[in-house]
């Protein structure tokens, strides 16, 4: 008996048993998403059963309903608004953050850590701290329900993270190479395109993905500042908050479709995601 116990403990120490535990944990955490995916392919009648049905026939009705086949509001305007807000703000972030990160890493200005910490500190200012004045400003300037206002706000939300991330990516470009290129007579645009860009590009791509994800996910600004015209995908989703029973498959289909861009972007940038979210502090 005791020899079996010892052997089992030995096996655990080798990791096979703990590997199993890890698998179990992974499945438990993923189960809600898997269940949501399965439910989205069920008919509404099969989706709302107790006990749950694992073998019900699959159908695309939930997705058809979501895309407005049943006469409900079409999600396309909201999806397009989200895409515009996320892509445009990400581009604006790049436009502002790249020069700043360049100044902070390749040709560091004096007191550059102070500047970095200022950017970081703005991230710690809660959104609600400025929400009311922004709302009043928008109302008085006829900017309510305008997607470009969201673009500006999302840019301010992501700019600090982008500056931090890109600063750490650009810092990986060896200054010696830049100096060598300059000695060889290369001008700044050439150096940027030929020397800096190839090294920094993966980091810039990861930064863009993270900015995209945050903009796509944002609810509070969008909820307060948009209405009919500029409604974004998360705001569209809030329409399902009180939906009861009948629309379970549709709710699941909607949640999955709207999460899809983020899931795709997130899986693509798994490693950089942590580094970005921890503001470059963890490598």
Partner 1 sequence: MTATTTAPVAAPETRSTPRPPSARLRAWATRAPLLPALIFMIAVTQLPFVATLVISFFDWNSLYPDARHFAGFENYQEVLTDAALRKSVWTTILLTVAVVLASLVLGLLLALLLDRRFRGRGIVRTLLIAPFLVVPVAAALLWKHVLYNPEYGLLNGLLHYVGGPQPDWISNTPLLAVEASLVWQWTPFMMLILLAGLQSRDQQQLEAARVDGASDWQIFVHLTLPHLRRYLELGALLGSIYIVQNFDAVFTITSGGLGTANLPYTVYQTFYQAHENGLASAAGVLVVIGSIIIATFALRVVSSLFREEVSRA
Local structure of residue 54 (DSSP, 8 states): S
Report the site for partner 1 in 216-235 (rule: CB under 8 A). 216-217, 219-220, 223-224, 233-234
User: Binding segment for partner 1 among 61-69, 83-91, 127-135, 178-186 (CB under 8 A)?
Assistant: 127-135
Contacts 24+ apart (CB under 8 A), 125-128: 127/157, 127/220, 127/221, 128/220
How far CA 259 is from CA of 13, 29, 37, in Å, comes to: 38, 17, 11
Residue 22 as a binder of partner 1 (CB under 8 A): the answer is: yes
Q: Residue 183, class by beta-carbon neighbours within 10 Å (0-12 exposed, 13-18 middle, 19+ buried)?
A: exposed
Q: Is 263 in the site for partner 1 (CB under 8 A)?
A: yes
CA count, 13 A, side-chain hemisphere, 179: 4
Which region, judged by CB under 8 A, interacts with partner 1, from 69-77, 111-119, 177-185, 204-212?
111-119
Question: Smallest distance, Å, CB 269 to partner 1?
Answer: 10
Q: Closer to partner 1 at the Cβ: 195 or 252? A: 252
Q: Confirm if 165 and 210 have CB atoms less than 8 A apart.
A: yes
Mapping DSSP to helix (H, G, I), strand (E, B) and coil, where does residue 67 land?
A: coil
Site for partner 1 in 88-107 (CB under 8 A): 96-97, 99-100, 102-104, 107
Q: Which of 79, 87, 123, 181 binds partner 1 (CB under 8 A)?
A: 123
- Residue (77 or 112) nearer to partner 1, CB: 112
Alpha carbon distance, N-terminus to C-terminus of the chain: 46
Among residues 49, 74, 141, 190, which is the contact residue for partner 1, using CB under 8 A? 49
Quick note: the x/- pattern for partner 1 over 156-175, rule CB under 8 A, is x--xx--x-------x----
Q: Is 52 in the site for partner 1 (CB under 8 A)?
A: yes
56-64, 67-75, 193-201, 247-255 -> range binding partner 1 (CB under 8 A): 247-255
Instruction: Give Cα separations from 95 to 46, 90, 163, 214, 279 (angstroms).
Output: 50, 9, 11, 17, 19
The nearest distance, CB 71 to partner 1, in angstroms, is 21
């Amino acid at each position: 008996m005791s020899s079996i116990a010892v052997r089992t403990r030995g096996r655990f120490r080798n990791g096979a048993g703990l590997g199993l535990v890890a698998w179990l944990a992974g499945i438990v955490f993923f189960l809600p998403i898997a269940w949501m995916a399965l439910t989205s392919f069920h008919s509404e009648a099969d989706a709302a059963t107790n006990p749950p049905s694992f073998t019900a026939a699959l159908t695309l009705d939930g997705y058809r309903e979501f895309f407005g086949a049943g006469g409900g509001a079409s999600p396309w305007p909201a999806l397009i608004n989200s895409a515009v807000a996320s892509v445009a703000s990400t581009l604006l972030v790049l436009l502002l953050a790249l020069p700043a990160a360049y100044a902070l890493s390749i040709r560091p200005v004096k007191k550059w850590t102070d500047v970095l910490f200022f950017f970081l500190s703005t991230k710690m200012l809660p959104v609600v701290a400025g929400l009311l004045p922004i709302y009043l400003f928008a109302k008085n300037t006829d900017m309510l329900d305008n997607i470009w206002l969201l673009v500006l706000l999302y840019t301010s939300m992501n700019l600090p993270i982008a500056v931090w991330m890109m600063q750490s990516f650009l810092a990986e470009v060896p200054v010696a190479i830049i100096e060598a290129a300059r000695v060889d007579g290369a001008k700044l645009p050439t150096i940027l395109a030929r020397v800096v860009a190839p090294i920094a590009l993966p980091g810039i791509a990861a930064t863009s993905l993270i900015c995209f994800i945050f903009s796509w996910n944002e609810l509070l600004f969008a909820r307060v500042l948009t209405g009919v015209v500029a409604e974004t995908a998360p705001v569209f989703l809030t329409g399902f908050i009180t939906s009861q029973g009948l629309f379970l498959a549709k709710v699941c289909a909607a949640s999955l479709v709207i999460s899809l861009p983020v899931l795709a972007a997130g899986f693509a940038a798994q490693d950089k995601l942590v580094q970005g979210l921890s503001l470059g502090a963890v490598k």
